[in-house]
């Protein structure tokens, strides 16, 4: 397709296509390491000439995995790190959601580990998020809740929204950083996350190792340039943020992690991962609650990403920047796992994807201290001309999955 003088924003592919097995768009960003860099170019979902995404190809490859052998590998791993002196032997980054609960509970009760759950606080807890977090603790887990300086976090969130249209950036940075820091503090050598993002939308080759690459949560050396909300760390003082305020946001050095022999693993390498199965597991073994308001805004599901009042803005800004929202994320996984057909996924996307998250909208504006007019100015500036057009004064996507 030739778009002439029209710009393509955010480093996206100029031609839009969709996976013929699920409903993923080739505009779908990888989870990645851009969260502390200023470069706006990103990696997107990997498609090949047959118009099948890597996540769908990986789903097929998983059918040939010997999961009994993978579990033996997990038992060997736990045997290497298990302690008998009362100290923690594994750290599980945990929000109280279904997935982190599943990992922590399995490690403790099936593999006889002594986990410490570590939580990086949401921007603004929802009621159900706070209750599910407490349910995690009540189910028998020690926990450290790390809550960053409220003034700093709000300012970083505002910068991330206005400069990157990514209000979740400060949360994601902390989510990657706190577990390694706690591992150093408690002399724990093993960190266990849940799902490898490559299961759902990254290059499928990244699933071949259980380890999270150091590039996702460390910096190379002291000279590494760091950006927060696309602002260099040295320039943040203009916004009232000094480097001393940023301890929790600055990644450890790769050498610190390697010298301490810390390994970061994904549980999904060892277990045939299923978010829906994890939900049923959490319901069975704890007081985990679904969304009391029904389905979550922007999708048809009601049991994921419930913690933060900004969750809806996270998915909505992705929809604006990349033309894919929360329903696409949910439908892709449910199609692969056989819970819905592709046709049902298309129908659900046409019905819910891009729905505006109004429930906590005013809370979000107050949190980052901007007006509604400023919000829409930022939002509309992020619409790439190759994705969006105006019809009768309303923004509509040029391409929709069929």
26-45 mean pLDDT: 59
Rounded mean pLDDT, 72-94: 98
Supply the CATH number for residue 194's domain: 3.40.50
Tell me, what's the pLDDT at 39? 42
366 falls within a domain: no
How much is the average pLDDT of 342-358?
Answer: 97
Instruction: Give me the pLDDT at residue 31, please.
Output: 60
pLDDT of residue 7: 86
> Could you list the residue range(s) of the whole structural domain that residue 151 is in?
67-269
Q: Is residue 389 part of a domain?
A: no
Rounded to the nearest integer, the mean pLDDT of the chain is 93
Q: Please report, rounded to a whole number, the percentage of residues in the chain having pLDDT higher than 70.
A: 94
What is the reported pLDDT for 40? 45
Under the banding of pLDDT at 50, 70 and 90, the label for residue 161 is very high
pLDDT at residue number 126: 98
Q: By the 8 A CB rule, do 96 and 302 touch?
A: no
> What is the predicted pLDDT for the residue at 273?
96
Specify the pLDDT at position 204: 84
Asked if residue 210 is part of any domain, the answer here is yes
Strand pairing category for 394-397 and 388-391: antiparallel
- The 10s digit of each residue's pLDDT in 114-160 is 999 999 999 999 999 999 999 999 999 999 999 999 999 999 999 99
Residue 281 lies in a domain: no
Residue 344 C-alpha from the chain's centroid: 25
Helix (H, G, I), strand (E, B) or coil at 264: strand
**CA distance readout (Å), 353 to 118, 323, 356, 387:** 32, 9, 9, 15
Asked whether 265 and 192 are in contact (CB, 8 A), the reply is: yes
- Model confidence, pTM: 0.94
Is the separation of the CB atoms in 180 and 217 below 8 Å? yes
Q: Taking a C-beta distance cutoff of 8 angstroms, is the pair 315, 329 a contact?
A: yes
- Measured at the CA of 144, the angle between CA 141 and CA 145, to 5 degrees, comes to 120
Please state which of the ranges 102-116, 162-176, 196-210, 316-330 shows the lowest mean pLDDT.
196-210
* Buried/exposed 370-396: b ≥16 CB within 10 Å, e otherwise: beeeebeebbeebbbebbbeeeeeeee
14 to 17, 60, 284, 316, 390: CA distances (angstroms): 10, 28, 46, 21, 19
pLDDT at 46: 66
The better pLDDT of the pair 214, 29 is held by 214
| Residue 30 pLDDT grade (very low, low, confident, very high; cuts 50, 70, 90) | confident
Taking only the tens place, the pLDDT of each residue in 268-284 is 999 999 999 999 999 99
Q: What percent of the chain has pLDDT above 90? A: 88
Q: In the prediction, which pLDDT does 72 show?
A: 98
pLDDT band for 188, please (50, 70, 90 cuts): very high
* Residue 394 scores a pLDDT above 70: yes
Rounded Cα distance, 84 and 209, in Å: 28
Angstrom distance (rounded) from CA 276 to CA 271 = 14
Task: Tally the domains of the chain.
Answer: 1
Would residue 14 count as lying in a domain? Answer: no
Residue-level pLDDT at 11: 87
Q: 74: which residues sit within 8 A by CB, 6+ positions away?
A: 111, 270, 271
Residue 397 lies in a domain: no
Whether 167 contacts 157, CB under 8 Å: yes
Reduce the DSSP state of residue 308 to 3 states and report it.
strand
């Amino acid at each position: 397709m030739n778009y002439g003088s029209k710009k393509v924003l955010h480093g996206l592919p100029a031609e839009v296509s969709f996976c013929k097995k699920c409903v993923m768009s080739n505009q779908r960003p990888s989870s990645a390491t851009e969260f502390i860099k200023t470069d706006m170019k990103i990696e997107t979902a990997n498609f090949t000439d047959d118009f099948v995404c890597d996540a769908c190809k990986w789903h097929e490859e998983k059918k040939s995995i010997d999961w009994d052998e993978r579990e033996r590998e997990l038992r060997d791993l736990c045997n290497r790190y298990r302690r008998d002196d009362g100290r923690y032997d594994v750290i599980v980054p945990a929000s109280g959601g279904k997935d982190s609960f599943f990992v922590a509970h399995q490690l403790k009760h099936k593999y006889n580990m002594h986990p410490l759950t570590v939580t990086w606080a949401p921007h603004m807890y929802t009621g159900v998020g706070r209750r599910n977090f407490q349910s995690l603790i009540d189910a028998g887990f020690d926990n450290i809740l790390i809550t960053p300086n409220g003034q700093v976090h709000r300012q970083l969130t505002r910068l991330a929204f206005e400069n990157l249209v990514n209000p979740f950036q400060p949360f994601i940075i902390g989510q990657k950083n706190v577990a390694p820091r706690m591992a150093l503090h408690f002399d724990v050598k093993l960190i266990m996350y849940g799902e490898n993002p490559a299961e759902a939308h990254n290059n499928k080759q990244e699933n071949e190792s259980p380890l999270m690459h150091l590039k996702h949560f460390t910096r190379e050396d002291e000279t590494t340039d760091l950006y927060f909300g696309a602002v260099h760390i040295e320039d943040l003082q203009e916004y009232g943020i000094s480097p001393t305020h940023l301890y929790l946001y600055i990644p450890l050095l790769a050498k610190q992690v390697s010298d301490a022999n810390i390994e970061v693993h994904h549980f999904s390498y060892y277990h045939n991962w299923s978010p829906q199965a994890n939900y049923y597991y959490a319901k069975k073994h704890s007081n985990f609650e679904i969304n009391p308001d029904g389905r979550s805004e922007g999708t048809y599901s009601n049991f994921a990403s419930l913690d933060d009042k900004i969750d809806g803005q996270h998915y909505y800004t992705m929809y604006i920047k990349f033309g894919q929202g929360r329903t696409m994320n949910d439908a892709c996984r449910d199609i692969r796992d056989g819970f819905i057909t592709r046709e049902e996924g298309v129908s659900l996307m046409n019905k819910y994807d891009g729905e505006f998250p109004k429930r906590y909208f005013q809370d979000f504006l107050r949190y980052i201290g901007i007006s509604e007019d400023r919000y829409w100015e930022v939002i509309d500036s992020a619409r790439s001309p190759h994705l969006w057009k105006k019809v009768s004064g309303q923004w509509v996507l040029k391409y929709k999955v069929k």
